[in-house]
Amino acid sequence: MQGVTRYNDALDAFRLSGKAATLIIEIGLDEIATATSFIDYVCAKYGVSKSGAWYCLKKLKRAGIVEFTEKGESYKPLSLTPKGVELYRQFRSITAREENELRQQAAEARVAAQVSAR
């Protein structure tokens, strides 16, 4: 699947983990009031540790992919930077293509099963 290869290439290009990609996709094009509320949501949804999620989010901030307020900084909501938005769009288009490929494969398998059942 070419989509999977492109997804992995995008992760490798920015030295991102699957967890980082998940955070980017979850943030999406939204502005989230606080990073803390986002971390609580992600931890509850995916069952990851808060320290691991924070580490990953701060790594994304250092890489210029997300921005958010940390202690001592003036307020800004959690959001993707332009670089992060580009990654998000790459991940979403790859994911959509993969879903379409899987649907196509499933449809072909159903047709093949119906033909062999005759």
3 pLDDT band, cuts 50/70/90, is very low
Count: domains in the chain? 1
Whether 67 and 85 have beta carbons less than 8 Å apart is answered as no
Range of the domain at 87: 2-117
With cut-offs at 50, 70 and 90, classify the pLDDT of residue 99: low
- pLDDT tens digits, 34-90: 999 999 999 999 999 999 999 999 999 999 999 998 887 778 899 999 999 988 888
CATH of residue 109's domain is 1.10.10.10
Say how many CA atoms lie within 13 Å of 84 toward its Cβ. 27
Residue 104 identity (one-letter amino acid): Q
Q: Per the structure block, which two tokens stand in for 117?
A: 């059942």
